[in-house]
Structure 1
Amino acid sequence: MWLLSFMAVMNFTILLASIGLKAPVIASERIDPHFHYIPLLYKKIRSFLYRFAKKIIVQTNSAASYFGKNLQRIIQIIPNPVKLPKNHKFFSSTARCIITVGRLDKQKDHDILIHAFSRLYPTYPHLGLTIYGGGAERDNLQKSISLPGAIQEIHQKLLEADLFGFPPLYDDFPNALVEAMSVGLPIIASNCSGNIDIVKNGVDGRIFPVGDVLKLAVLMEALVCDPNTRKRLGEKAKTVAERFHPDLIFHR
């Protein structure tokens, strides 16, 4: 069973209603269309109606690549701005806290982070894994790990952590990831759409193949045991706040 997103319905309705009018219409895709299923008929309707849009706003190059050549001329990439951090992480030579933030649903693939962590824990019993967020998968996930749920202010929790894991199957613009990077937290992220538009592997974070538990566990262990690399990646990660500074994004 499928449901069209509210955004898709609004795009279709407004574009259809505005045909023949002089008012410019800007459509917006807020999730990577490669992974957002809609029936074939609606795909054809979207392709037809989007020709009448003044602009189509997407958040990443990954999402922009979905649309054919006839629409590329009106595609505009505008990522989300990064909330400027109040302060940055104080570096600790011993890693004790691994965290992630995100909705508890299958898209975010928290299962893989839990399985990777379980490979490390017997050797590193001082490590803890915390997942902040709420959602439909809570009951399934909490069989394996304690989940504190969603919290209003995540900034302090990011500062207290030593490593940030982010394993979604797909995304568009992952706000949780860039917020973690902006405070100087070293990150390990899957190579899904969205993540690969932000993270430079080996420069400001580490990337692993989507769904690869073993590779994720290897990268987690390497960073847990290497404080110098954690510090180097964290320092580079902070530059994400410059790339997605609110002034730059609002100008677009």
Structure 2
Amino acid sequence: MKKNIHLMGLRDDIPEIIAAADIFTLPSYREGLPRSIIEAMAMGKPIIATDIRGCREEVVEGMNGLLCKVKDAKALADSLEVLIINEEKTKNFGIQSRRIFLEEFEEQKVLNRQLNIFNEFRKGKLDV
């Protein structure tokens, strides 16, 4: 299995790399709202990420991916193994990632939600 893991360093061809990947993994220990997960979801990828704020808002455990404990290499490896050996789950997670992206994170929808908040604030209907 080790021969299938590639540490690729700094790249400028991320869309092509994500398209070629079977599983998107983000084992961060601190994040905001990771755009990389949203990009992977847009491309219909199953996600494995650490169970931290930001990632939890994008990855629904057991629906479009798996969340594992922070700084726990074994938990990350176990999550990867679950998806590597279960092609059907991997496929379904990818389908759900795309659906969630379209419903929640598609750019125009996000912009419209932000504009609505700004307009409500401007009209005095929201307090800061």
1:129, 1:185 → 2: CA distance? 18
2:92, 2:14 → 1: CA distance? 23
1:190, 1:125 → 2: CA distance? 21
1:238 Cα deviation from its structure 2 partner: 0.6
**Residue 248 of structure 1 corresponds to which residue in structure 2?**
109
1:228 Cα deviation from its structure 2 partner: 0.9
TM value normalised by structure 1? 0.42
SS at match of 1:222: helix
SS at match of 2:6: strand
1:150 maps onto 2:11 in alignment: yes
Report the residue type matching 1:191 in the other structure. D
Which of the numbers 61, 77, 93 marks the counterpart of 1:233? 93
Contact 1:186 1:204 in 2 (8 A): yes
**RMSD of Structure 2 on Structure 1 (CA):** 1.4
1:165 Cα deviation from its structure 2 partner: 1.1
- Structure 2 unaligned spans of 5+: 115-128
1:188 Cα deviation from its structure 2 partner: 0.5
**Residue 167 of structure 1 corresponds to which residue in structure 2?**
27
Alignment size in residue pairs: 112
Following TM superposition, where does structure 1 have runs of at least 4 consecutive aligned residues deviating by more than 3 angstroms?
A: none
TM value normalised by structure 2? 0.80
- Once the two structures are superposed, the pairs formed by residues 83-94 of structure 1 within 5 Å of their partners are none
2:2, 2:77 → 1: CA distance? 15
- Counting helix residues as a fraction of each chain, which structure ranks higher? 2
- Structure 1 unaligned spans of 5+: 1-123, 131-146
Report the residue type matching 2:111 in the other structure. F
1:126 Cα deviation from its structure 2 partner: 4.4
SS at match of 1:238: helix
**Residue 126 of structure 2 corresponds to which residue in structure 1?**
none
Contact 1:170 1:192 in 2 (8 A): yes
Identity %: 24
SS at match of 1:169: coil
Which of the numbers 179, 188, 199 marks the counterpart of 2:59? 199
